[in-house]
Structure 1
């Protein structure tokens, strides 16, 4: 069986926008492992029930099925040790895990308040209804209220990126001279926003903006090729 990756998409199957799927997509490219993309939508939970998960990414690699982006990263590192390392050793693995928690709780938690209403515009009818109902239940208010005032609030988000910005002033990637899974983890959040919203998260003179451009250039510009709302 060919290697397959279930990835979240919108009504357009080419619009791949899950931050977690992007972590995995970049990790596979880093390892030089080809795969077939299987576009998956919010209401197609039955298609991945075999993986014991109701969320993507789900990787099928021969007779192995792995769900969850972190579990997939560890699987790829341990199963393909002769391919370029995602972590650069045990210490790097631990730091990538920490960075994943920071990204989830600071970067993605901040971004969602700017772009969540825009996601719905890229979904088909069934997914649209599901997404609106589930997200408004999660936030406890209409999505229009979730994103209200984002032009004023974005300055605070940019300040929260200080650790990222300071690190990238010293080196081109979080991994040093070349990217590691640390970069793919954070990049996934910004690529998610870029694919669904034209709201400007990063100012052009920000070193984080320049880093994102370098990430978009990786692997032959793979991340640039998908439909996106915000320019690089």
Structure 2
């Protein structure tokens, strides 16, 4: 099998924490496609395959090499048409793009604050130096100062998840009666904190927490073991 998924991991080379990689992990599992999960550090990224990538995920599938989680998911659906669909029509594509935008603009800023020090502590010393410089340049403050807002962001998270809670009050999955790529997009975003932090992000008796628990149980419970690969 020549299918590789390159994934950012912690110093142990086992704990995979990238939200975008988790989207692709779930997509590959959904489509019953075997793959090797290849751990990389920040310093390794520019050496992946032909050297044109600046972030993960990167997927090699035979002779095809591509990045960006959404592009990978579309490629998998268009290439492997005899496996379960990740997108069931144009409506599913539009829903997924909305969920992506919602995660990027509403959830990612909060989760970045909540997880920042836990992420840093998972990394090798070289990755810690890279991560600190990049994040402090982006946010204009030390990581420690950024992390002071974590409790406030945790408190605000239930309200920010209100649109998801409202939708899940009428259907089992974001995608309808069965999970698909819109669900994996939100799952990957929340899994980012789930992998990095020991303090649960969601209450299990909350409808979003219940949905997340069901996502964790998919595909033999792969989401419950962030060190596991196929």
Question: How many residues end up aligned between the 2 structures?
Answer: 228
Q: RMSD value over aligned CA atoms?
A: 1.6
Match of 1:179 in 2: 179
Structure 1 residue 51 displacement after superposition: 5.4
Distance 1:153 1:30 in 2: 32
Structure 1 residue 102 displacement after superposition: 1.1
Q: Secondary structure at the match of 2:6?
A: strand
- CA deviation string 1:145-173 (max 9, x = no partner): 11214223322221011110111122221
Q: Which runs of 4+ in 1 moved over 3 A?
A: none
Larger mean Cα displacement after TM superposition, 49-58 or 122-131:
49-58
Q: Secondary structure at the match of 1:43?
A: helix
- TM-score, normalising length from structure 2? 0.94
Q: Is the 8 A contact 2:45 2:56 kept in 1?
A: no
Q: Is the 8 A contact 1:24 1:57 kept in 2?
A: yes
Match of 1:47 in 2: 47
Match of 1:65 in 2: 65
Q: Is the 8 A contact 1:114 1:147 kept in 2?
A: yes
Larger mean Cα displacement after TM superposition, 152-161 or 54-63:
152-161
Q: Does 1:204 align with 2:204?
A: yes
Q: Is the 8 A contact 2:3 2:36 kept in 1?
A: yes
Match of 2:28 in 1: 28
**What does 1:1-232 align with in structure 2 at a 5 Å threshold?**
2-48=2-48, 50=50, 52-227=52-227
Distance 1:120 1:22 in 2: 19
Structure 1 residue 203 displacement after superposition: 2.4
Distance 2:9 2:86 in 1: 25
Distance 2:147 2:3 in 1: 38
Structure 1 residue 92 displacement after superposition: 0.9
Q: Is the 8 A contact 1:51 1:58 kept in 2?
A: no
Structure 1 residue 45 displacement after superposition: 2.5
Distance 2:223 2:119 in 1: 18
Structure 1 residue 46 displacement after superposition: 2.9
Structure 2: gaps (5+ residues): none
Distance 2:60 2:89 in 1: 25
Distance 1:155 1:126 in 2: 32
